[in-house]
Amino acid sequence: MSVPVAYLAVVLIWSTTPLGIVWSSETVAPTLAVLLRMIIALVPGWLILKLFKIELPWHRQAFTLYCYSGIGIFGGMLFSYLAASYISSGLMSLIFGISPILSGVLSKYILSDEPLSIAKRSALVVALLGLACVCYDKISLGDQAYIGVILILIAVFFFSFSGVLVKSVTVKINPMATTVGALIIAIPLFFLTWFFIDGTLPYEQWSQRSILSIVYLGIIGSLIGFIAYFYVLQKLKASTVALITMITPVIALWIGLVLNNELISVNLIIGALFIISGLGIYQWGEWLYKRITIKHN
């Protein structure tokens, strides 16, 4: 697989995933839709491990890694699916874009990383202003969209929290094995959640679009997307990979508008610009500041 193809695959998969979540939850209960997606991802993942003879270790550090990764899969995916009933796919993608900044904040307190620089603190403020802007219309109208905003923020927290915890584990395991191990940990939690919240299988109500969306998210969104992402992560600089989080919300907003007739308001556009600017400042603010300082000196 060439690097440009893998990079493009990650961008397209991440851009279409929010709409896939919305469509899969139209006629299938969110808790069941995400459970089926993870099972569909696990089966080919397990077969790949066996086919290529990739080891799936279960020693203490490996188990810890799977649990930490499973936290992100379970919390991040569950609350994203629950949020899909209240907010648009474009808004979901946009809010999820702040995850790199939140990860940086959590790293400071959990991993005792260096204090956030002025540039990164400024990035956080800019991103939060954008978040407030995109949420203003919905919250001020008093409808239930604020529930979706809260749910997707919880999802972002779990995703970011999981990523920081994973960094604390010093063990080298094949990314495919990590995925399968994390799914093995997360799927029982998804099953219990579905069983106690819903527990039904009204398959006669399921639409073709919902079923195809679940299959797409299971095979393309979860499995291929993960493999492509880690391939890109190994081949390119972190700053180049970080561009994905800035590109995907824009594409997701456009896809939601064209394929799902989702409304794009002025506040949403302004908020999107703030959030993307915040991500840019977070990634390159310090570098730009140093370049300017050197030129003036």
The per-residue pLDDT for 240 is 66
The per-residue pLDDT for 98 is 84
Give Cα separations from 209 to 29, 112, 255, 277 (angstroms). 14, 46, 16, 35
The string of pLDDT tens digits covering residues 168-198 is 888 888 888 888 999 999 999 999 999 999 9
Whether the pLDDT of residue 141 is over 60: the answer is no
The per-residue pLDDT for 233 is 65
The per-residue pLDDT for 75 is 94
Give a yes or no: residue 297 inside a domain. no
The per-residue pLDDT for 101 is 81
Whether the pLDDT of residue 242 is over 70: the answer is no
Instruction: Assign 39 a pLDDT band (cuts: 50, 70, 90).
Output: very high
- Share the mean pLDDT of the chain: 85
Range in 88-92, 111-115, 122-126, 213-217 the model is least confident about? 111-115
The per-residue pLDDT for 253 is 86
Residue 55 neighbours by CB distance under 10 Å? 10
The per-residue pLDDT for 1 is 62
Give a yes or no: residue 125 inside a domain. no
The total domain count for the chain is 1
Q: What is the mean pLDDT of residues 102-106?
A: 82
Give a yes or no: residue 55 inside a domain. yes
* Whole-prediction pTM: 0.86
Q: What is the mean pLDDT of residues 81-98?
A: 87
Q: Which residue has the higher pLDDT, 193 or 5?
A: 193
Give a yes or no: residue 243 inside a domain. no
Tell me how far the alpha carbon of residue 82 is from its chain's centroid: 14
Q: Which domain holds residue 95?
A: 3-116+144-237+248-263
Give a yes or no: residue 296 inside a domain. no
Whether the pLDDT of residue 93 is over 80: the answer is yes
Give a yes or no: residue 66 inside a domain. yes
User: Do 114 and 226 meet the contact criterion of CB atoms below 8 Å apart?
Assistant: no
258-265 CB contacts, 8 Å cutoff, 24+ apart: 259/19, 260/19, 260/22, 260/23, 260/88, 260/89, 262/88, 262/89, 262/90, 263/88, 264/90, 265/137
Whether the pLDDT of residue 239 is over 70: the answer is no
Instruction: Assign 127 a pLDDT band (cuts: 50, 70, 90).
Output: confident
Instruction: Assign 38 a pLDDT band (cuts: 50, 70, 90).
Output: very high
Supply the DSSP string of the chain, one letter for each residue.
--HHHHHHHHHHHHHHHHHHHHHHTTTS-HHHHHHHHHHHHHHHHHHHHHHTT-----SHHHHHHHHHHHHHHHHHHHHHHHHTTTS-HHHHHHHHTTHHHHHHHHHHHHS-PPPPPHHHHHHHHHHHHHHHHHHHHHHHHTSTHHHHHHHHHHHHHHHHHHHHHHHT------HHHHHHHHHHHHHHHHHHHHHHHT----GGG--HHHHHHHHHIIIIIIIIHHHHHHHHHHHS-HHHHHHHHHHHHHHHHHHHHHHH-----HHHHHHHHHHHHHHHHHHHHHHHHHHHHHHH-
The per-residue pLDDT for 131 is 81
Range in 42-46, 61-65, 235-239, 270-274 the model is least confident about? 235-239
Give a yes or no: residue 226 inside a domain. yes
Residue 259 neighbours by CB distance under 10 Å? 12
Q: What is the mean pLDDT of residues 73-85?
A: 93
Give a yes or no: residue 124 inside a domain. no
Instruction: Assign 282 a pLDDT band (cuts: 50, 70, 90).
Output: confident
